[in-house]
Amino acid sequence: MKKNLYIYVLCTAVFCITTTSCDKIEVTEQLTPLTPANIDADAGTWKMAFMTAPDQVAVPAPTPVGSDAYKAELTAVKDAQSKLTKSQRDAIEYWSGGGVLRWNQFFRDLVSRYNLPPAPKADGSYPAPDAENPFGDPAFPFANPPYAARAYGYVSASLYDALKAAWHFKYLYNRPSAYNADSGVEALVPKTDLPGYPSEDAVMSGVSAEMLKFLFPAAVEDITLKAAEQRNAALWSGKATSSDIAAGLALGKSVAALFVARGRTDGMGAAGGNKTLWDGLKQNAESRGDEAWVSLETPPRPPMLPVFGKVTPWQMTPDQIVAIRPPAPPIRGSAEMDAEVQEVKYYADNLTRERLAIVHKWADGAGTYSPPGHWNDIAAEYVRDANFSEVRAARAFALLNMAEQNAAIACWDTKYFYFNARPCQLDPSIKTGTGVPNFPAYVSGHSTFSAAAAGVLSYLFPDGEAYFKDQATEASMSRMYGAIHYRKDCEAGVQLGYKVSDIMINNFAKVDGAD
């Protein structure tokens, strides 16, 4: 009897633990097939983010619906549909959730994978990631927050322009989707009246893959496989024929080439600076009477991308970046700064579990998708629930991520203009709830990113405004709770972030013709 009881207890316990640990944790976000509330037929007339016009890249006229060549393409679609495998059906289902959302998720994944600082060499120096040797040690890139912000900015802006160009040609030529051209073609995704030529899925695959290969060259295999799968899914699902796809791919790649050309000359290449420049930053800070920032890493690491503030912003000028630079922070030894340090010290010495959870929720440090990625994660749920067309979804991420890149530029401009010390540099007894970032304190990057994102998302999704702004405040304060930022850094960062989002909204979102 006793033995039976033990066996019972054992089995129950084994069952409980194995069932919880066997619950599969999903790698991909769960999306239902996209059924846009509005297909945004006029998107070809919306203002471009960077291209000069929707037809800056030419797309030749398609073969007519009645032509033999097109009929042969439709037959090929039907043939492919007649023998779909399980993995092909899975691919259709995966991409039916929305190409823009899927690519957004994929590049958050890439950022987290490449967000790893180089290891020091034996002599204590740090090698710089080299775009010409992306598979080396260190890998290229180190997708730190500014790099990530720029990556999100470029991919999202190029996707948006490419889709507007696609919409322009879709309605210029008006050739229907395969499933609307031939009743024998099965629609394995929700049907819409969006014309099929050029295929929007192929446009997305082309532009995203080319941009990502530029930004994350060592991930070429994953990128190209993903892109090819999206094109295949477009055909298998009955949306697109081979000429829809070929034209879309060509358009997407050509649009990417325009953005890559911009990326090669936007100042990123020089953002790392050099020894002379780093010494100059120190002298600047000291000439203001402040204590200059030093790296708290062992061995000391050069400051992260000190010239990133000079990278070309989106929808605003470099002069505007300088114009919104916050006023100087209090200097070391001033009564105001002493009080700031005291407050951080309080949070360091009183790191409650509740505050630590907030610190870690927003830490978004090495090995994560970074703060801009976190806001893309937040935005993705709203975009999904809004049932946007692909082009409107692309607009949401473009507005968000152009603002995030601008936030990174404005924040980095400020950080290196003042080059001030972190709290635990001024008071080494301050211990932190997360790693101390390897760049100056003022203003807080998280605060700037979060407010810029909350500002743009509040414009796009007014119902979420209170939530977004509340989250931005929490993200900002998390840096003080973690004892890596002064309150001043957080508050000035939030103000700067909202200035960045206001500019994006007023200069672009309100005038692009989409609202």
Partner 1 sequence: MCMVGLLTLISFNSSAQTTTDGLMMGKNLFCTGFMYTNDKWTDYWEGELKRENGNIGSITTQSLAYYGVYGITGKLNVIAMLPYVKTEASQGTLHSMEGVQDLTLAVKYNFLRLESEKLTFRAFGVLSFSTPLTDYTPDFLPLALGAHTTNLTPRINAMVKMNQGWFVNGSAGYTFRSNTELDRPSYYDGSNFYNSSEVDMPNVFDLFVSAGYQKESLQVELNYIQQNTLGGADIRRQDMPFVSNKMNAQRVGLLAMYYLPKPKNLAVRGSVHYTVNGRNVGQATTYLAGILYTFKFGKSE
Name the residues that contact partner 1, by CB under 8 A: 6, 9-10, 13-14, 17-18, 20-21, 23-29, 105, 108-109, 112-113, 116-119, 137, 296-299, 348, 351, 353, 356-358, 360-364, 366-369, 374, 377, 424, 430-433, 435-436, 483
Only one residue has tokens 């114009």, namely 323
Tokens standing for residue 106: 């994929």
276-282 contacts: CB < 8 A, separation 24 or more? 277/306, 277/307, 278/302, 278/303, 278/306, 281/306, 281/416, 281/419, 282/419
The smaller minimum CB distance to partner 1, of residues 42 and 377, is found at: 377
The smaller minimum CB distance to partner 1, of residues 480 and 483, is found at: 483
The smaller minimum CB distance to partner 1, of residues 231 and 374, is found at: 374
What's the closest the beta carbon of residue 486 comes to partner 1, in angstroms? 15
End-to-end CA distance of the chain: 74
Instruction: Evaluate whether 72 touches 182 at the Cβ level (below 8 Å).
Output: no
The smaller minimum CB distance to partner 1, of residues 113 and 288, is found at: 113
Backbone angles phi, psi at 440, to 5 degrees: -60, 165
The smaller minimum CB distance to partner 1, of residues 128 and 328, is found at: 128
Cα angle: 373, vertex 379, 383; to 5 degrees: 135
Instruction: Evaluate whether 156 touches 398 at the Cβ level (below 8 Å).
Output: yes
What's the closest the beta carbon of residue 22 comes to partner 1, in angstroms? 9
- Residue 489 CA to residue 476 CA, distance in Å, equals 9
Tokens standing for residue 105: 């998720």
What's the closest the beta carbon of residue 25 comes to partner 1, in angstroms? 5
Tell me which amino acid residue 121 is.
Answer: K
- 3 state DSSP class of 420: strand
The smaller minimum CB distance to partner 1, of residues 9 and 466, is found at: 9
What's the closest the beta carbon of residue 102 comes to partner 1, in angstroms? 12
CA dihedral of residues 317, 100, 453, 145 (deg, nearest 10): -80
The smaller minimum CB distance to partner 1, of residues 102 and 310, is found at: 102
- Residue 299 CA to residue 156 CA, distance in Å, equals 37
- Residue 333 CA to residue 340 CA, distance in Å, equals 11
What's the closest the beta carbon of residue 143 comes to partner 1, in angstroms? 11
Which helix (H) or strand (E) segment holds residue 395: the answer is helix 390-418
What's the closest the beta carbon of residue 436 comes to partner 1, in angstroms? 5
The smaller minimum CB distance to partner 1, of residues 68 and 354, is found at: 354
What's the closest the beta carbon of residue 428 comes to partner 1, in angstroms? 8
What's the closest the beta carbon of residue 497 comes to partner 1, in angstroms? 20
